[in-house]
């Protein structure tokens, strides 16, 4: 860490932010720019921003060694206390919070609250290594300046907050119920119609179909019935607020073995598109619910298939670091806009204005994935893939 902040870099960075805001750009891309600026100007190993809403927070932007923590939930107890800026020795924070950053050679976290009016929108953090000295008053002042700029972005109300507080009013609840009915009827109609059609064909044309025709009809009915069962599970899970419901007890499990088995359970057409890019043997055990891997992988690969060309592969890889095991599902599809990487996890949300003609679906898959992963003290994130497409990354604690 330099003795003084890099003021020329700070000036250049602020000019770049102003240019983007004056050009009409706001939201998560500009926020990410300010987080990167905090790391560079202060000579930190990494930086991150946690947005607060509905009694908890979430890491929505990060750089450097903090980047793997994007998507991780931050509990109420981990918020910065009263003072606007605070230096925290990392060995004094709780284990769950410390695991949000990668590597075991970090010494200090310097955090500043980001406020708009009387509301705390979130907190900006930078992390320093063991070889760095203690941040001085100038470092505190620069971080408070950048935190104030983030607070101003939230005050503009354009693209931020990424996770708005839930509306408790009756009209909002009725709108949710109406949307639930519409989505449910839309999603159930197709498999039910196909099953009924083939069942009627078997009933009315049993003799004329012949053995091959009857076998094909039964095969389609079986596939659609399985699809219907999975859909009902998803809809019921989305409707439930019981975070502890269902599933086998958590415990150590072999992530690579679970992923290989989950691939074999995918529908045949989807399974043929999945390429096992890097699934190394001998990884440490993950800790969580092994049975959930099949559902999580199905949702992520189905999403990748839906938004990518029919002949392009969906890549699956796995790896580890000091505290977590991870797997990634990558595609070469339409990609995801930076401002949508968090909104995509909202219930019923879809890109393209919810256009179900181009990308049919309930908008529940990623919402359910995040719920399942967070029940196991893990986290999930999306990001644009270099060269085009999207990367979905899931992290679980090491056993």
Closest CA to 104 of 115, 117, 95, 114: 95
Report the alpha-carbon distance of residue 7 to residue 175 in Å, rounded: 50
- Please determine, for residue 79, whether its predicted confidence score (pLDDT) is greater than 90: no
Confidence (pLDDT) at 28: 93
Query: For 151-171, what is the mean pLDDT?
Result: 80
Return the minimum-mean-pLDDT range out of 81-90, 96-105, 184-193, 378-387.
Answer: 96-105
- Please determine, for residue 75, whether its predicted confidence score (pLDDT) is greater than 50: yes
11 Cβ neighbours under 8 A, 6+ residues apart: none
Compute the residue count for the chain: 399
The better pLDDT of the pair 1, 337 is held by: 337
**Are the C-beta atoms of residues 341 and 365 closer than 8 Å to each other?**
no
* Percentage of the chain exceeding pLDDT 70: 82
Cα angle value 333/338/339 (rounded, 5°) = 120
Confidence (pLDDT) at 94: 52
Residue 357, Cβ neighbours under 10 Å: how many?
6
Q: Given pLDDT bands bounded at 50, 70 and 90, which one contains residue 174?
A: low
Provide φ and ψ at 78, rounded to 5°.
-90, 0
Q: Given pLDDT bands bounded at 50, 70 and 90, which one contains residue 188?
A: confident
Confidence (pLDDT) at 179: 59
Report the alpha-carbon distance of residue 158 to residue 175 in Å, rounded: 23
The better pLDDT of the pair 322, 257 is held by: 257
Return the minimum-mean-pLDDT range out of 159-168, 201-210, 327-336.
Answer: 159-168
Confidence (pLDDT) at 105: 73
Confidence (pLDDT) at 246: 45
Q: Indicate the pTM of the whole model.
A: 0.78
Range with top average pLDDT, 29-43, 94-108, 159-173, 219-233:
29-43
Confidence (pLDDT) at 384: 94
Q: For 354-374, how does the pLDDT look when each residue is reduced to its tens digit (9 = 90+)?
A: 444 455 566 778 988 998 899
**R_g of the chain computed on alpha carbons:** 24
Confidence (pLDDT) at 95: 47
Q: Given pLDDT bands bounded at 50, 70 and 90, which one contains residue 172?
A: low
Q: For 212-228, how does the pLDDT look when each residue is reduced to its tens digit (9 = 90+)?
A: 999 999 988 988 888 78
**Are the C-beta atoms of residues 202 and 211 closer than 8 Å to each other?**
no
* Percentage of the chain exceeding pLDDT 90: 53
Q: How far apart are the first and last CA of the chain?
A: 34
Confidence (pLDDT) at 14: 96
Closest CA to 330 of 258, 277, 390, 289: 390
């Amino acid at each position: 860490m330099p003795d003084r902040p890099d003021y020329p870099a700070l000036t250049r960075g602020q000019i770049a932010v102003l240019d983007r805001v004056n050009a009409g750009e706001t939201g998560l891309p500009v926020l990410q720019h300010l987080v990167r600026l905090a790391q560079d100007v202060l000579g930190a190993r990494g930086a991150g921003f946690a947005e607060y809403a509905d009694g908890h927070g979430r890491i929505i932007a990060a750089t450097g060694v903090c980047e793997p923590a994007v998507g991780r939930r931050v509990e109420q107890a981990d918020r910065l206390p009263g003072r606007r800026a605070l230096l925290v020795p990392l060995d004094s924070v709780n284990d769950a919070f410390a695991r949000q950053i990668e590597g075991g050679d970090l010494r200090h976290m310097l955090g500043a609250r980001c406020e708009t009016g009387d509301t705390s929108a979130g907190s900006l953090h930078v992390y320093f290594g063991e070889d760095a000295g203690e941040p001085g008053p100038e470092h505190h002042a620069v971080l408070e300046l950048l935190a104030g700029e983030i607070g101003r972005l939230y005050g503009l109300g354009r693209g931020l907050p990424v996770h708005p507080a839930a509306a408790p009013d009756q009209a909002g609840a009725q709108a949710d119920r109406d949307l639930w009915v519409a989505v449910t009827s839309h999603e159930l109609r197709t498999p039910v119609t196909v099953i009924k059609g083939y069942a009627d064909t078997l009933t009315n044309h049993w003799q004329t179909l012949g053995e091959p025709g009857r076998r094909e009809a039964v095969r389609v009915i079986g596939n659609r019935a399985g699809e219907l069962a999975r859909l009902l599970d998803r809809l019921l899970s989305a409707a439930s607020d019981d975070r502890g419901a269902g599933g086998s007890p958590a415990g150590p499990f072999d992530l690579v073995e679970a992923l290989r088995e989950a691939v074999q359970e995918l529908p045949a057409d989807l399974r043929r598109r999945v390429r096992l890019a890097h699934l190394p043997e001998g990884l440490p055990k993950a800790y969580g619910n092994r049975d959930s891997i099949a559902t999580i992988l199905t949702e992520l690969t189905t999403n990748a298939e839906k938004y990518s060309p029919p002949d392009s592969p969906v890549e699956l890889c796995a790896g580890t670091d000091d505290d977590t095991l991870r797997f990634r599902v990558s595609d070469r599809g339409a990609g995801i806009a930076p401002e949508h990487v968090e909104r995509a996890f909202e219930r019923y949300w879809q890109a393209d204005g919810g256009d179900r003609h181009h990308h049919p679906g309930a908008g529940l898959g990623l919402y359910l994935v995040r719920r399942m992963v967070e029940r196991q003290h893990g986290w999930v994130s999306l990001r644009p893939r270099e060269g085009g497409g999207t990367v979905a990354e899931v992290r679980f604690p090491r056993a």
